[in-house]
Amino acid sequence: MRKIYRRVAFVALFFILLSVQSTLAALPFNIQSESVVLMEVSSGEILVEKNSNKPLPPASVTKMMVMLLAMEAIDRGEIKLNDKVIASPEACRMGGSQIWLEPGEEMTVEDLMKAVGIVSANDASVALAEYISGSHEEFVKLMNNHAQELGLKNTVYVNATGLSPDGGGPGNMTSAYDQAILARELLKHPTVLKWTGTWIDSLRGGESFLRNTNNLVRFYDGCDGLKTGYTSEAGYCLVATAKRNGVRLIAVVMKAPTSPVRNNEITKLFNYGFSQFKALKVLSAGQVIGKTKVMKGRTNEVNLIMPEDLLVVLKRDTQTTPEVLAKIPAKVRAPLAQGTPVGEVIVKIDGETKVTAPLVTEAAVEESGFFRFLWQITKNMLEGFFH
């Protein structure tokens, strides 16, 4: 009986080792970091991964969730970038990277976001958390709820900084895959790139110097974010994003042994990803795609155009011609401002939807008076009768 168990155990071990070897063999280059992910943003496709779902401490990468919740609160109108935040003693006692907030000091939401995005300031992060939710503890609940909503299965937060908890105990945990998903969500708010993509800035009227903790913002063409992290437990972490020729990538490195290794491996991931994809312009900004009838308008119809260039990101070896479909309502009602979203364009490759983008009105259409509206109705009835 023991021989049977030994054989079963040996076979199981063999397949486990085979699985590990095949995973490592799939990597196009050597990776020293504990966990990595490379994602193409438009599709969410994972190009490269190693231990991508392994739970690991994120250190200051934690602050991506802080930035996301802040941007969502701004979008909902709950807070504004020019709101003044008064620093609490709790926020000011945070160690590690900081901007040395003093209790009672006022700073705008925008400056606190700048401090979080550029120098990963722990005191600024907690000040934002308290301003958004009333307390650090309530904000952490919000972080965990949103992690569940986004499907981040290996992510748990205990604070808004990524520092080890006071008094010990388990700290924040996440995975490289979860952080790629979170980064993709954060990129829906491109304002953050204004901060995370800045190399050098200042606060307090130039008195406080800020230099980005992400060296790739300066040294890698196209890199404009997102978040670094380091503790002795977490090692060197970085969630980076870069855009070249219309292609945007997210690269995640967790628990790299050194900062140079972290930067080198992000660079490898980016170089590989940009070699695999191309961006094809399907439609041009301002291009008229169709028109629709306008009810109660001073004009009877309005052109619908592309508000910006429409790109589709494809594998470089793709030869298929994109299929473009326009969904346009039969009629809309005035008044309409210029640039009002009306309908949409869908781009498909081999039957699969790749991009969906809005169509907008080319010009404003004012609402007509009663008699003009009555004449439009009469005219339409007459045209229908004689046709």
Q: In the prediction, which pLDDT does 382 show?
A: 64
- Among residues 33, 35, 52, 60, which one is catalytic? 60
pTM of model > 0.75: yes
Q: In the prediction, which pLDDT does 2 show?
A: 45
Beta pairing class for 341-349 and 331-333: unpaired
Q: In the prediction, which pLDDT does 348 show?
A: 93
Do the Cβ atoms of 49 and 38 come closer than 8 Å? Answer: yes
Q: In the prediction, which pLDDT does 166 show?
A: 83
Q: In the prediction, which pLDDT does 28 show?
A: 84
User: Is residue 85 exposed (0-12), middle (13-18) or buried (19+ Cβ within 10 Å)?
Assistant: buried
- Among residues 42, 88, 120, 125, which one is catalytic? 120
CATH 3.20.20.100 fits 284-386, yes or no: no
Identify the CATH number of the domain defined by range 28-276.
3.40.710.10
Q: How far apart are CA 101 and CA 130, in angstroms?
A: 14
| Apex 268 CA angle, 263 and 274, nearest 5 | 120
Whether residue 60 lies in the annotated active site: yes
Domain map of the chain by residue range? Answer: 28-276, 284-386
Q: How far apart are CA 117 and CA 90, in angstroms?
A: 20
| Apex 385 CA angle, 380 and 387, nearest 5 | 95
Quick count: other Cβ atoms within 10 Å of Cβ 214? 26
159 CB contacts (<8 Å, ≥6 apart)? Answer: 62, 136, 140, 165, 171, 172
Whether residue 120 lies in the annotated active site: yes
- Going from the C-alpha of 229 to that of each of 60, 86, 176, 212, 286, the distances in angstroms are 4, 26, 13, 12, 42
Q: How far apart are CA 242 and CA 227, in angstroms?
A: 12
Q: How far apart are CA 180 and CA 53, in angstroms?
A: 11
- Going from the C-alpha of 17 to that of each of 14, 27, 28, 36, 295, the distances in angstroms are 5, 16, 19, 20, 68
Question: How confident is the prediction along the chain (387 residues), in pLDDT tens digits per residue?
Answer: 444 444 544 444 444 333 333 333 357 889 999 999 999 999 899 999 999 999 999 999 999 999 999 999 999 999 999 999 999 999 999 989 999 999 999 999 999 999 999 999 999 999 999 999 999 999 999 999 999 999 999 999 999 999 999 888 899 999 999 999 999 999 999 999 999 999 999 999 999 999 999 999 999 999 999 999 999 999 999 999 999 999 999 999 999 999 999 999 999 999 999 999 999 999 999 999 999 999 989 999 999 999 999 999 999 998 889 999 999 999 999 999 999 999 999 999 999 998 999 999 999 999 886 555 555 666 666 665 555
Token pair for 358: 């809005």
Whether residue 208 lies in the annotated active site: no
- Among residues 33, 42, 52, 63, which one is catalytic? 63
How far from each other are the two terminal CA atoms of the chain, in whole angstroms?
90
Q: How far apart are CA 181 and CA 197, in angstroms?
A: 19
Determine the residue type at 187.
L
Quick count: other Cβ atoms within 10 Å of Cβ 145? 12
